[in-house]
Amino acid sequence: MTGSFDLRLLYSREDIAAMVRALAARISADYAGKELLVIGVLKGAVVFLADLIRELTIPAEVDFIGLSSYGDGVTTCGEVEVTAFPAASIESRHILVVEDIIDTGLCLDALLKFLAARRPASVRVCALMDKPARRQVKVEVAYSGFTLPDKFVVGYGLDFAQRYRQLPQIYTLEEAPVERQLASDD
Ligand code: IMP
Ligand code: MG
């Protein structure tokens, strides 16, 4: 993507809060009586994770994992590498991976392999958003929030070239009309 962009509101604060509450209720019910280790995927999932854990009614330890993504602001992980390791031990734990969005599935696939090698008791995934039309590898998402068309979204933790993460709502990034781009070039 080049040129200039418009942000178009996709999910409001209220839409997001309702979805976070619904996901947290399902997770709390499913893991009742168990000790959960929530692992957020840096950096995009940080805002979602912060809201999600505050809606859980079960005990949960929180940790993070960092994955490298090669490419520009829009394309996602072609080759995936773990760049920041969780401090907690994974072995014999019930793991909930928290992701902002599942696109090709390549990041999540690599992450699930990384976790499986460390012999957890169980692993499930919670993703706020999913773009199933873009999937390149099959991944199972137990707790899936909004299903999106093939649109690039920003805000609520998600960035475009490290911008827009701090916006409290979720927007689609739309290419600005060509006339306006030309006008703003001079
Ligand atoms: P995947 O490996 O292609 O599924 O990529 C997943 C990661 O790419 C997400 O965790 C995001 O960090 C990033 N990503 C994918 N789609 C978007 C988007 O629409 N906006 C912002 N980041 C995205
Ligand atoms: Mg991410």
* pTM across the whole model: 0.91
Identify the pLDDT of residue 111: 96
Question: Looking at residues 171-175, what average pLDDT do you find?
Answer: 94
Residue 147 Cα distances to 88, 133, 151, 153, 159, angstroms: 31, 10, 11, 12, 18
What is the bridge-based pairing of β-strands 122-130 and 60-69? unpaired
In this structure, is residue 38 part of a structural domain? yes
Residue 102: CB within 6 Å of ligand 1? yes
In this structure, is residue 160 part of a structural domain? no
Chain centre distance of CA 123: 16
Question: What is the b/e burial string over 130-152, where b = at least 16 CB atoms within 10 angstroms of the residue's CB?
Answer: bbeeeeeeebebebbbbebeeeb
In this structure, is residue 145 part of a structural domain? yes
Q: Whose CA is nearest to atom 7 of ligand 1?
A: 76
Residue 152: CB within 6 Å of ligand 1? yes
Minimum-distance ligand 1 atom for the alpha carbon of 43: 12
In this structure, is residue 21 part of a structural domain? yes
* Secondary structure of 98-160 in HEC code, one letter for each residue: EEEEECCCHHHHHHHHHHHCCCCCEEEEEEEEECHHHCCCCCCCCEEEEECCCCCEEECCECE
- Answer whether 54's CB lies under 8 Å from 31's CB: no
pLDDT digits (tens, 9 = 90+) for 16-34: 999 999 999 999 999 999 9
For residue 91, count CB atoms less than 10 angstroms from its CB and return exposed for 0-12, middle for 13-18, buried for 19 or more: exposed
In this structure, is residue 175 part of a structural domain? no
In this structure, is residue 8 part of a structural domain? no
Q: pLDDT-derived band of residue 75, with 50, 70 and 90 as boundaries?
A: low
Residue 105: CB within 6 Å of ligand 1? yes
CATH of the domain at 112: 3.40.50.2020
How many structural domains are present in the chain?
1
pLDDT digits (tens, 9 = 90+) for 77-126: 567 889 999 999 999 999 999 999 999 999 999 999 999 999 999 999 99
Question: Looking at residues 156-170, what average pLDDT do you find?
Answer: 97
In this structure, is residue 23 part of a structural domain? yes
Q: pLDDT-derived band of residue 151, with 50, 70 and 90 as boundaries?
A: very high
43 preceded by a cis bond (ω within 30 of 0): yes
Higher-confidence residue of 5 and 93: namely 93
Question: Looking at residues 38-52, what average pLDDT do you find?
Answer: 98
> Can you tell me whether residue 29 is helix, strand or coil?
helix
The domain of 110 spans: 16-149
Active site residues: 103
Identify the pLDDT of residue 1: 57
Using the mean position of ligand 1's atoms as its centre, give its distance from the Cα of residue 183 in Å.
Answer: 31
Q: Whose CA is nearest to atom 3 of ligand 1?
A: 104
Using the mean position of ligand 2's atoms as its centre, give its distance from the Cα of residue 24 in Å.
Answer: 19
Percentage of the chain beyond pLDDT 70 is 88
Identify the pLDDT of residue 56: 98
In this structure, is residue 7 part of a structural domain? no
